[in-house]
Amino acid sequence: MRLEDLDKSRVREEFIGACLEDLKWIGLDWDGPPSFQSDREQELRETAESLVSEDLAYPCICTRREIRAAISAPHAEDEASTYPGTCKGRFRSIQEAQESSGRQPSLRFQCPPEEIEIQDRLHGQLKLSPWTEFGDFVIVSPEGHASYQLAVVLDDAAQGITEVLRGDDLLSSCGPQAVLQRALGLKRPEWIHVPLVLDYTGERLAKRTDGLSIRAIREAGISPERLLGWLLSESGLSEEHEISAQAAIRSFDLEVLNRSPIRLPEDFLETLA
Ligand SMILES: [Zn+2]
């Protein structure tokens, strides 16, 4: 297991512990001790710098606000912000950008202005246009942290990940990831983007909007088996009222998985009680 901890402003020791505790409570396990994306920061940064030397990326001294958005995983509710290419061809090296601006530059990948075809096991063949959607996206922030897109691509490759199953709010991220994989000579994983669980208003469950957490469910006295039973029946995967994670693995089948998001009822905790 690798924990994504590059957004330092949001990473806290107690969150890491709570996250692992939630997974264990629900019955999900993993091989070996957890590792951290930040352990490989130096390596990630060096790869980004090598892309600059190959003229596939360039330093940018523009404001931090848009760079903020690039460090966290871009989810559907984030406003799309396409970088206008202000710093493209402006500096000959990272050092020159530093010296002329007196600031630490970020590094941006030169996104090719073309459509990229990708394959997703649930969505089939898709044409994405990372250039239109993201422009020359950030791969290293001014603080020296690798962006979500770069870190995911390099981490998956380093760990030999061949299948990526994640929420379909990240479907558009396949665009930047595919162009990075091509530039770095890395193989694409098989992508499987599944529908999300949404709150009763139809919003993604997120910490930043104080969405319902596993902890709140646990503290309401609901068992993990009951939670899984409800989720699996809503997903079309099982009809059991209560089911353990171990048993749920046996009934997991992408072919029958519902293709629409699950919306939690407003009285979710009472529904499960
Ligand atoms: Zn710039």
Domain boundary among 175, 194, 213: 194
Q: Are 133 and 76 in contact (CB under 8 A)?
A: no
Q: What is the C-alpha separation between 253 and 192, in angstroms, rounded?
A: 12
Domain span at residue 144 reads 36-194
pTM of the model: 0.87
Give the pLDDT score at 5: 85
Distance in Å, CA 121 to ligand 1 centroid: 36
Distance in Å, CA 181 to ligand 1 centroid: 23
Cβ neighbours for 15, distance < 8 A, ≥ 6 positions apart: none
163 lies in the same domain as 202:
no
Q: How many domains does the chain have?
A: 2
Give the pLDDT score at 212: 82
Distance in Å, CA 9 to ligand 1 centroid: 22
DSSP 150-214: HHHHHHHHHTT--EEEEEGGGGGGHHHHHHHHHHTT-PPPEEEEEPPEE-TTS-B--GGGT---H
231 lies in the same domain as 98:
no
259 lies in the same domain as 170:
no
256 lies in the same domain as 149:
no
Residue 27 belongs to some domain of the structure: no
CATH of the domain at 119: 3.40.50.620
Segment-wise mean pLDDT, segments of 10 residues, the chain, 273 residues: 81 87 94 88 95 97 67 55 83 94 94 96 96 92 92 93 95 97 97 94 76 87 96 94 94 92 91 87
Residue 192, H or E segment: strand 190-194
Domain boundary among 142, 166, 194: 194
Distance in Å, CA 106 to ligand 1 centroid: 8
Residue 156 belongs to some domain of the structure: yes
Give the pLDDT score at 223: 96
Residue 14, H or E segment: helix 13-26
252 lies in the same domain as 188:
no
156 lies in the same domain as 206:
no
Residue 102 belongs to some domain of the structure: yes
- Give the side-chain half-sphere CA count within 13 A for 181: 19
Distance in Å, CA 183 to ligand 1 centroid: 21
